[in-house]
A and B are shown apart, each in its own frame.
Chain A
Amino acid sequence: GQNIDQPTEMTATEGAIVQINCTYQTSGFNGLFWYQQHAGEAPTFLSYNVLDGLEEKGRFSSFLSRSKGYSYLLLKELQMKDSASYLCAVSEGDYKLSFGAGTTVTVRA
């Protein structure tokens, strides 16, 4: 199984940058996903990393270090609509996803 850890809550100001860290332990790594989930809704895909390094997509970037079992999601130029839960999920060889508990980000004006 996996042990996926991420902070429970983070608060930041509109326009600022927030970095959400995720550490994991897995036996058969097949990629790491980041999802955004607003309350009462299904998760929406943000990013996918399978190789080490940084993937940038507009205001969102995700980094992976496989040797360290570590990833982060970077949110830039925060907007009020970015207030949500951010889920780190690890995929193993059978394509199942194991999710972390999620990080609730609150953006304040």
Chain B
Amino acid sequence: GAVVSQHPSRVICKSGTSVKIECRSLDFQATTMFWYRQFPKQSLMLMATSNEGSKATYEQGVEKDKFLINHASLTLSTLTVTSAHPEDSSFYICSARTASREGLNEQFFGPGTRLTVL
């Protein structure tokens, strides 16, 4: 249980185009999803917190107009990188939060999406 999928796993796009990444919780409902970005040999940096049915909360320094987040249902959140530039090339990872029977507020991570902007 507690499987999170991401699509696509890899995407290459031209500079100036927009790319949409989907994050789905497959066998549980996730009221909260998180979007992270990871540059090579660096740790995960939280970009935004996405709550179903409400606006995402962005971390300081993350442009909300560039990284559009939509959390339309309890199992799906999308991240759209608008007008992508080479510096947006990174590994984007989502996670979904669920409270386990033991009350553990655990986050389950998706497999990540490797974005390369040419």
Contacts and interface: CB of A to CB of B under 8 A. Distances in A.
A30 B34 CA distance: 17
Nearest to B6: A42
Contacts, number: 49
Given A95-B32, A96-B34, A44 B109 contact: yes
Nearest to B2: A45
Interface stretch (B61-69, B77-85, B100-108): B100-108
B104 A48 contact: yes
Given A42-B110, A96-B49, A91 B105 contact: yes
The DSSP consensus for interface residues of chain B is strand
Number of chain B interface residues as a range:
20 to 34
Contacts of B106: 33, 45, 48
A29 interface: no
Interface string A77-101: 0000000000100010011111111
Interface in B9-66: 32, 34, 42-46, 49
B93 A42 contact: yes
B8 interface: no
B31 to A, nearest CB: 10
Nearest to A30: B105
B71 interface: no
A97 B46 contact: yes
B43 A101 contact: yes
A92 B53 CA distance: 23
A5 B52 CA distance: 33
Interface in B72-118: 91, 93, 95, 97, 104-112, 114
Nearest to A101: B43
B111 A87 contact: no
Interface of B: 32, 34, 42-46, 49, 91, 93, 95, 97, 104-112, 114
Interface of A: 30-31, 33, 35, 40-45, 48, 87, 91, 94-102
